[in-house]
Amino acid sequence: MKKNILITGGAGFIGSHVVRLFVKKYSDYQIVNLDALTYAGNLENLKEIENAPNYVFEKGDITDEKFVPALFAKYNFDGVIHLAAESHVDRSITDPMAFIKTNVFGTVNLLNAAKDAWKGNFEGKRFYHISTDEVYGALENDGTFFVETTKYAPHSPYSASKASSDHFVRAYHDTYGLPVVVSNCSNNYGANHFPEKLIPLAINNIKHKKPIPIYGKGENVRDWLWVNDHARAIDIIFHNGKDGQTYNIGGNNEWTNIDLIRMLCKIMDKKLGREQGESAKLITFVTDRAGHDLRYAIDSSKLQRELGWKPSLQFEEGLEKTVDWYLENEQWLDNVINGAYQQYYQQQYANR
């Protein structure tokens, strides 16, 4: 059945993987990618599908109260997959208002547009909100996990803004009957990741023999999810998830930051033909981040049990694939580092 699907933030890291998956898999869907093309949005991520007949790009801001409803009227959307967000914790510490604007106000603006466009006729409609495990706060190293019913306890402006947006999504379901699903994911890694984040930053710094900054003692633990597995989970939840439900998505791959970077150094030494141990000398411990959560770990058994999803890769294999992609796509990385992609697209869309 022909459907029009809005994917917000589709030029970003996770969003671009979701857009490519949907465009390739669902030829009977028209996929509309809405992205503001801020620093994290890069249409280079979508080169392989940019001319596909079932793909449309719209440059715009989810906080625009006139533009978003007009977009719903133009395309008559059957579904929304909402990924657009400010997502870097360090940036949220220095500029929390930007996170409140995009993550809270932008989400509510989309909810209002969907509510008004669908007018209570929710048959075949779905609003899917993608969130983060950081809304749950932090875990001790005691073997416990975040589950869908874990109490929210955000510790950074970023996680607080995402927690607020989650609450609004659920409130619109309870108040207006809007057909929503929510998922909370662990740390993603893979191709097209903006190089301010730990893994691509470390890959680039190792390549150029620059220091690899590690917060504190590197003891913080994260559960790493391959972005392709996340995109598959989003596909499954969007089509088969139950209205009003939350699904946790995790990779079952817990690593301390220091152990992750040491393994990455070994992989990079092998790939670059360097003597083993050479890249590890670049590790540099820096002052810890304010409010740095000790450990995140996702229990994704509900998603696996009810919808049949499971991660396809162990971290070592996924990390090696990720390294290979960055080494094979040096031009993409260089363009992101020097900002060339931003200048190009700002000029191209200046009058649109």
Q: For residues 78 and 52, give the distance between their C-alpha atoms in angstroms, rounded to a whole number.
A: 20
Return the number of other C-beta atoms located less than 10 Å from residue 319's C-beta: 23
Cα–Cα nearest to 296, from 171, 132, 168? 132
Q: Residue 286 is encoded by which pair of tokens?
A: 């820096």
- Continuous H helices in the chain: 13-25, 67-75, 89-94, 96-99, 106-118, 157-176, 198-207, 227-240, 257-272, 301-307, 315-328, 330-338, 340-348
Q: Residue 21 is encoded by which pair of tokens?
A: 């998956």
Cα–Cα nearest to 199, from 179, 222, 182? 222
Q: For residues 197 and 189, give the distance between their C-alpha atoms in angstroms, rounded to a whole number.
A: 9
Give the catalytic positions in this structure. Answer: 133-134, 158
* 196 within 8 A of 88, measured Cβ to Cβ: yes
Task: Specify the amino acid at residue 294.
Answer: L
* 225 within 8 A of 160, measured Cβ to Cβ: no
Q: For residues 125 and 179, give the distance between their C-alpha atoms in angstroms, rounded to a whole number.
A: 7
* 111 within 8 A of 165, measured Cβ to Cβ: no
Residue 274 CB burial class (10 angstroms; 0-12, 13-18, ≥19)? middle
Q: For residues 196 and 94, give the distance between their C-alpha atoms in angstroms, rounded to a whole number.
A: 15
